[in-house]
Structure 1
Amino acid sequence: MTNAPLPPSQHDLWNGPAGDAWVQAQTLLDGMFAPFEPLLADPLAAHPDAQVLDVGCGTGAVSLAIADRLGLAGHCTGVDISAPMIAVARERAAAAGKDIDFIVADAQQHAFAPASLDHIVSRFGVMFFNDPVQAFRRLREALRDGGSLHAIAWRSPAENAFMTTAERAAAPLLALPPRAADGPGQFAFADAGKVQALLRDSGWRGIEITPLDVRCSIARDDLPTYVSLLGPVGQALRAEGLDPATRASVLATVVDAFAPFVQGDRVVFTAACWSVRAE
């Protein structure tokens, strides 16, 4: 086994292997995370004229759900650092006949028009900022008075066994890139106190951080695709130089490790998250 490589920058990651993997797995991921869409989109039906920003919009599922709830005077904009994912989001919006603007940009750096938005939402998109205080300050400045933030982020790895099963099973077999202890990354917002502090330091008020447990699932037949595409294990399995026999052996071992989550023809798990609200 060779030493684990250093993790790439967020820009390189999401415009490279991770972005490509999410594009390939778009349908699978949309199904897995579909229960989160109404949590973010349904409240906006009461504000049909709202101007809404979807941060870390990925391939556009939440943005499309929001556009369905808005009226003719309302508008949704999605922003993501990943050009491959934004390309898919634009295609999906065009196919659905939805007028959604999709921007390829780092929301931490992008010059949003001041006081131009009513609501900001995010499904798993706010944990990847290099400087979250700067990012949330910039987002706050883009809101009008009375505007709101609603973001959903993962709690700890210990509370999300499904999300760490592949890494734990593959760790003895593959050199995996280390997870940064304090992010940016999937579990960067695991500590609610830390999230409270960074929002307060970036000027937000009315901060509410509450546990959110959501039942998610994928088809059992999709589990090998999930493992071979996504996360650190998927990245390692797709690496050049990994011989096919080793890849097949590791994939089989990792898929078997998900047995506790298998219920008939589905793989079922609870996503342990935070619902983060501020104004």
Structure 2
Amino acid sequence: MTDTSQHALWNGPAGEAWVEAQHILDQMFAPLATHLVEAIPPGEELHVLDVGCGTGAVALAIAGRLGPGGHVIGVDISAPMIAMARERAQRAGLAVEFIVADAQQHAFLPGSLDRIVSRFGVMFFDDPVQAFGQLQRAAKRGGVLQALAWRGPDENAFMTTAERAAAPWLTLPARQPGGPGQFAFADRTQVEQILAAAGWEDVEILPLDVVCRIDRADLATYVTLLGPVGSALRNAPLEAAARSQVMDAVLQAFAPFVEGDAVTFTAACWDVRARAW
């Protein structure tokens, strides 16, 4: 995440798009947030860090679960998303500390964290060994890491549907296997090696398949705001007729995922767990 392109991406139109799509993303990934939150014993007075917290859904849910002595920190490189997270915390009356920072570089208090969690926030580091080493040093002895990451694109057809359908009209950047990005942690062996090199122990990486959904009425908004196609549509000088053609093709491509008023798919993830000793 020290890569200036990542900083520019998440503090520019992509970050603003995620803020605009907050309600769609919260609905889509709610089962994954629940998976992380329910792993934390209720009423405990734990210190928890949410890495790549985005607009704050997971951090806020954890804060509502902890006892009065608990404390949650959310960290993200995106200033627009952190601003939204702070607004949500204030509205909810939750004292969550949200900071704009690169978790790969930020000087967290050593040995201060009981748990470190992340929902799709750890795949964007340009040096993941350095990043997870930084997080390992911030954990208490026996502190737990639990992070959710995508498996490969071949197991997540929903996530690549829009770009495959739009390819005849739009020039989209090629995904770089193993590089920072959505599917950077697809290779389980590579993730195990990263965590071991960063000093984590008791590493366990389990497949997790979770059914997610959004409202069918939100599908067009999802396509135009998020992912490579959303970015291309913001930047490509398409005439109205061509744009309409692209959208028709993309929305038609999502037909296999439409069930009545809902768009449903299975998120194929890794549930990454480790412990600091």
User: Quick check: TM above 0.5?
Assistant: yes
Counterpart of 2:224 in structure 1 is 228
Match of 1:3? Answer: none
In structure 2, the partner of 1:151 is 147
Unaligned runs of 5+ in 2: none
The aligned residue for residue 103 of structure 1 is 99
Query: The residue matched to 1:52 in structure 2 has which SS?
Result: strand
Q: Deviations over 1:144-178 (max 9, x none)?
A: 10101000000000000000000110111101122
Question: What is the CA deviation profile of residues 50-108 of structure 1, one whole-angstrom value per residue up to 9, with x for unaligned ones?
Answer: 00000000000000110011011001000000000000000000000000000100100
Q: Distance in 2 between matches of 1:45 and 1:27?
A: 27
Alpha-carbon deviations, 1:110-149, whole Å to 9, x = none? 0111001110000000000000000000000000101010
Aligned length: 273
1:207 and 1:47 map into 2 onto residues whose CA distance is: 26
Q: Is 142-151 or 35-44 further displaced after alignment?
A: 35-44
| 1:76-115 → structure 2 map (5 Å cutoff) | 76-115=72-111
Q: CA deviation at 1:238?
A: 1.2
Q: Which runs of 5+ in 1 are unaligned?
A: 1-6
Superposition misfits of 4+ residues, deviation over 4 angstroms: none
Query: Which amino acid is the alignment partner of residue 80 of structure 1?
Result: D
Letter in 1 for 2:28: M
Amino acid at match of 1:19: G
- Report whether the alignment pairs 1:138 with 2:134: yes
Percent of residue pairs bearing the same amino acid type: 65
1:235-274 equivalences under 5 Å are: 235-239=231-235, 241-274=237-270
What letter is aligned with 2:93? G
In the alignment, what sits opposite 2:125?
129
Write the mapping of 1:189-208 to structure 2, written as runs, cut at 5 A.
189-208=185-204
Q: What's 1:160 paired with?
A: 156
- Amino acid paired to 2:118: S
> CA separation in 2, counterparts of 1:277 and 1:226?
30
Rounded Cα–Cα distance in structure 2 between residues aligned with 1:244 and 1:131:
41
Aligned residue identity for 2:98: F
Write the distance in 1 (CA, Å) between the matches of 2:4 and 2:230.
15
Structure 1 Cα separation of the partners of residues 189 and 104 of structure 2: 21
Q: What's the counterpart of residue 63 of structure 2?
A: 67
Match of 1:27 in 2: 23
In structure 1, what is the Cα distance between the partners aligned to 2:231 and 2:34?
30
* Counterpart-to-counterpart distance in 1, 2:167 and 2:85: 34
> C-alpha displacement at 1:272, in angstroms?
0.1
Within the alignment, does 1:37 sit opposite 2:33 as a pair?
yes
Q: What CA distance in whole angstroms lies between the structure 2 residues aligned with 1:179 and 1:105? A: 25
How many Å apart are 1:47 and its aligned residue? 6.1
| TM, length-normalised to structure 1 | 0.96
Cα distance in 2, alignment partners of residues 91 and 235 from structure 1: 26
**Letter of the structure 2 residue corresponding to residue 153 of structure 1:** A
Q: Could you give the per-residue CA deviations for residues 169-215 of structure 1, whole angstroms, max 9, x where no partner exists? A: 01111011222222200000000000000000111000000000000
| Residue of structure 1 equivalent to 2:112 | 116
What TM-score comes out, normalization by structure 2 length? 0.96
Equivalent position of 1:4 in the other structure: none
Q: Which amino acid aligns with 1:14?
A: W
Classify 1:52/1:45 alpha carbon distance in 2 versus 1 (closer, same or farther; 3 Å): same
Structure 1 residues 145 and 47: CA distance shift in structure 2, 3 A: farther
CA distance in 1, matches of 2:127, 2:160: 25
SS of aligned partner of 1:136: helix
C-alpha separation in 2, matches of 1:98 and 1:233: 35
Cα offset, 1:240, TM superposition: 5.4
The residue type equivalent to 2:148 in the other structure is I
